[in-house]
Structure 1
Amino acid sequence: MDENLRIRDYISKRVKYLRLKRGLSQDSLSELADLDTKHINKIENHAPNLELVTIEKIIGALGETEANFFNWRFPTSSEEIRELNDSLEKLPDEDQAEIANALTLLVKKINKRFDS
């Protein structure tokens, strides 16, 4: 796959994931980022031309830092985690976000038990 397409794919998925994680609609994000709703839709669907200033606006509107937005590290420290990650990537984005949120809640609950 062309390197530029991989980066565009990553940005598209990351914007959508973080938007859904925060419970924002495309309209809400477009207002926060001072962008047109159609522009957010195009970005999430692999816009052909993506300007850095637009990415910066979206990152700010999502309340993220650039370092967190471009977190290229994914959990792959064990075979089980790699398998889970591979399985999740095959699901639609909305399902991925729901499962990630559920797993996060579960892990936090388990961590609280160990902290007590």
Structure 2
Amino acid sequence: MSDDFHYQATAGLIKDLGMFAIKSMLTLNAGAIVVILTFLANISASDIIVFDIERIKCSVYSFMLGLCFVALAVGVTYTSAQRAVTANAQYRGLPLFLFIQMSAPILSFVAFLAGVGTAVTGVSQL
């Protein structure tokens, strides 16, 4: 009984951590793409600010890579939840699922930071 309770509690923890990370990184990376596009639309008429379109494109690609990591986290979370619900035996893959589930949002955050850094270096003032 105690092992089953521990198993269910751990599966619930994985689901909660995964959902928090997914929501955070989805908002961060998708919002960054919207901000970059809005910023470009606003500064395109300005003569004071110059931007390197290649660096801006690289930053958007980095944010999109972050969204791909979010999609990976969604898939792992879904698989983990399905396995937790349907498996009666001990959940032997739990540490691996937890590692992948938390690594994907961390990589998504790293992609976000790289995108921000690239975007900042791609904009300069005359």
Q: TM-score, normalized by length of structure 1?
A: 0.34
Q: TM-score, normalized by length of structure 2?
A: 0.32
1 or 2, which has the higher strand percentage? 2
Bigger RCO (CA 8 Å, 6+ sep): 2
Q: Which has more radius of gyration?
A: 2
